[in-house]
Structure formats: structure tokens, C-alpha cells
Structure 1
């Protein structure tokens, strides 16, 4: 539940009250949201601020960051929620949110979360830790019933993510790079086929699972 709350707050920089989180995430009651937000605040991942007489929760990104004192005048465009049932778990926006929540827990400051629902251009996810940025390209997994068509589309999306990695490495040899993908056998097979490229381009995989957990696979040591 904690990662679902973090993912929601990352997608909503204007913050959310406990009751808003309860409705958005389909929790049993507001007490669940309240208890988990207190735990996240103790971990330094969430800050609770009173705004217009109501407590709002904000993802901090880093312990020293400061959330806005009030919701912005023009709130961010709404995006489908993780677990809201509107889209499959492997939709790109959900994968992006789970990856961002994972990076927060790893001590990264999340600087940018692109609006995938609106097909916003640019880097999908930008995080920073220790003064070094991490650029993440995010892909979902195709939905449908035709296995051949799904397999072909997945390959196209995987190739698009690979191009991002190669392009970005050319732009900045020192930046960290990663590819966030839902953990499907098709993507695992494609990753294995280009295994040689991972240490050469120096990028990591963030394998996102249906329960929101993330497995990070860093590149093997480059051959000397």
C-alpha cells in the first residue's frame, strides 16, 4: 500500500488528503491511508502539511525537500491511478509510477515524471542521487488478444526504449540510464538477445511486477 500511495503522490504534486487517497486507491477506510501516511512520514518519504485547515500529504523525493504550502493554482493534469482498475497494471503510466516510487525508496529525488497519458515528449522519468542524474525510459506492455500482434508490438516498444538509451548515452556519457519495463517473458527474451549492449551502453533494467515491486538489474562490469 505504501508504494501505491507514493506513486499517487508523485503523479499529483498538489498533494492529497487522507480521504482523497482512500477514494483514489480504493482503500477500505480512511484510517488505512492515515496510518500508512504517518509511517511514510516517519520514513522521510512523505510530508504532511495543513493547508486551508486540512492535512495534505506530499511526496518529498528527499528528506530535505519542501512541499508546496498550498495546491498550485493550476493543478497537474489528472492521470489514471495505479490500481484504479481503469487500465491494466502493465500500462506505461502505471509502470512509470511504480518505478518512481521505487526510486524514492532508494533515496533518489524524483525531478520529473512525464505525463504519459498525454504522450508528453522528453525523458519519461528523471531522478537524482548524490548529484548524479538518472534518466529512465518507460514502456508498458501491449494489451490485446492476438499473441503474434502483441509480440510484434512489444518488440517495437522495446526497440524504442533501446534507441532512447543509445541516444541519451550519446548526449551525456556520465548520466545514469535505465529502462523500466513490466516483467513479461517477451521483454526478458528481448533483453537477453541484446545482453551484450547493457555493459557497453551502461544502463540498468527496472523490472516492474504486477504487485508494484521492482527488481533492478545493473549492467555487468565492462570487460577490461
Structure 2
């Protein structure tokens, strides 16, 4: 099922990518208000905040880790010690924790995590779906073409 999308990624208009996004426009269509955290400066807070019709959606975004060396200039040349699948599981858990903390801090927000549509994250979602539903945490998957599905 395709989910109606709330916000157009402001990173797209500035020729930047959202943290972990595989597409410059992963978070949607124009005509909505919203904001995206600046990840190059490691800005803290909600990654994507979108509003429409008096409702606010906060999205914690994670990418899928790569093999090899770090992209961060401070760690350039260092080899990553963790396998991508293992790191992805850690990032999934971090995204859920951040979503739960966001619920606590902003109880009137709708909260979701945004993830690349890859098998590792799909399997983790299947295993945690009931708990996430009970916690009112949505999951948005972004495919390689930038299409968003829940």
C-alpha cells in the first residue's frame, strides 16, 4: 500500500540528501510544509518534520551502512569494523528509541521512522510490527526510485 506523503524534502531543493536517503526527493510531493535536519553539521533533533491540516509528522531517518571506510572527514581512511547487517540492526534500534523519545517530548506529533527498502530492514520490521503498532510508530520504506511505502 502506498502511503500518502506529507512533505517534500527541503534537502532536495538545496541539492543535499536527507540522512541515509537513496533519493534526493524521498519524502514526497510539493505543497506541504516541512523541514529537514542538516546532517553535515550533525544537527540534533527530528530529521524530518512535516505539517498538514493541523497534524505534525516527525520522522527519524536511517540509511543502510556500507562496507569500507568512513565518509566522515574526521575519520577518513579508517576501516569500518562492523558488518553492514549488524550496523543496520543497531541503527534500527536507535531509530525506534529516537521515535519513542520524540513521542514523549512531543505527544501531539505522529511519529515514524524512515528506512531504505532493503531486506534487512524489512525483516526487522516484520519482527517488530506489533510492538511498533502498539507504540504508534509508523515505518516508511523508501525504494531506489524514491517511492515511499508503509
Per the shorter chain, which TM-score range? 0.7 to 0.9
Structure 2 CA distance for aligned equivalents of residues 136 and 97 of structure 1:
16
Cα displacement (A) at 1:118: 2.3
Structure 1 156/96 Cα, relative in aligned 2: closer, same or farther at 3 Å? farther
**TM score, norm. by length of structure 2:** 0.75
Q: Which residue number corresponds to residue 32 of structure 2? A: 108
Decide which of 164, 169, 172 is 2:98's aligned counterpart.
164
Partner Cα separation in structure 2 for residue 163 and residue 114 of structure 1: 18
The structure with higher relative contact order (CA 8 Å, sep 6+) is 2
Displacement, 1:152?
0.7
- Tell me which of 92, 116, 119 is aligned to 2:19: 92
Q: What are the ranges of 5 or more consecutive residues in structure 1 without an aligned counterpart?
A: 1-5, 16-23, 25-78, 82-90, 218-224
> Cα distance 1:188–1:134, how it changes in 2: closer, same or farther (>3 A)?
same
Q: Which moved more, 1:137-146 or 1:179-188?
A: 137-146
Question: 2:45 aligns to what?
Answer: 122
Structure with more helix by fraction: 1
1:62-211 matched pairs, under 5 angstroms = 79=16, 92-95=19-22, 97-100=24-27, 102=28, 104-105=29-30, 108-110=32-34, 112-144=35-67, 149-211=83-145
RMSD of aligned alpha carbons:
2.6
**1:95: Cα distance to partner?**
4.6
Taking a change above 3 Å as real, the CA distance of residues 108 and 205 of structure 1, as seen in their structure-2 partners, is farther
CA deviations over 1:109-153 (Å, ceiling 9, x no partner): 11x21112222111101000111111000000001169x711110
Rg bigger for which structure? 1
In structure 2, runs of 5+ residues without a counterpart are 1-7, 69-79
Q: Is the 8 A contact 1:134 1:178 kept in 2?
A: yes
Task: Answer yes or no: is the 8 Å Cα contact 2:12–2:24 preserved in 1.
Answer: no
Moved over 4 A (4+): none
TM-score by length of 1: 0.52
User: Are the counterparts in 1 of residues 23 and 146 from structure 2 also a CA contact under 8 Å?
Assistant: no
Q: Secondary structure at the match of 2:26?
A: helix
